[in-house]
Structure 1
Amino acid sequence: MKSLVYSTTNYAYSLGYEVIVIEDCFSSNAPEIQALNIRDMANMGATIISVADYLKLLPHVHRKRTGERIRH
């Protein structure tokens, strides 16, 4: 069973978008399905990264609770 994230990734990629999937921001019904969806999205050309890696890509991120700015 493919996830909504998989379907959206597939559609965006077919339209020519560069797709980045943050793998720990969605889930599937079972870990095996999750792993297959991630593998298939990577095979279609999506970049698969974690939230931590995504935050490293951002020059400035505001923390919600404290308003503290993180510098990278």
Structure 2
Amino acid sequence: MATAAAGLAPAKEVVEKKVELLKEIRAHEVAIAELDNLNPSRASPSPPERPPPPESSIYPRDRSRHERPDLRIMYLRN
């Protein structure tokens, strides 16, 4: 009788491990289904922000957008 009870304990552990694995698989299946149903704009990450352009002597940052040096000067320098 003792050997029969000892044989059932490992079998019970195996069944419990299988049940836990099946639960994990099901949770992953649900997560995959949720990702498949996402709006396409939310499914892909947004691109990283670009760093600001380096400051140059031609276009210093403290000038407004509308104040730009004469383009002829730029062509003469090159």
Instruction: Tell me the TM-score range normalised by the shorter chain.
Output: under 0.3
Greater RCO (CA < 8 Å, at least 6 residues apart):
1
Tell me the TM-score normalised to structure 2 length: 0.21
More strand by share: 1
Q: Radius of gyration: which is bigger?
A: 2
**TM-score normalised to the size of structure 1?**
0.23
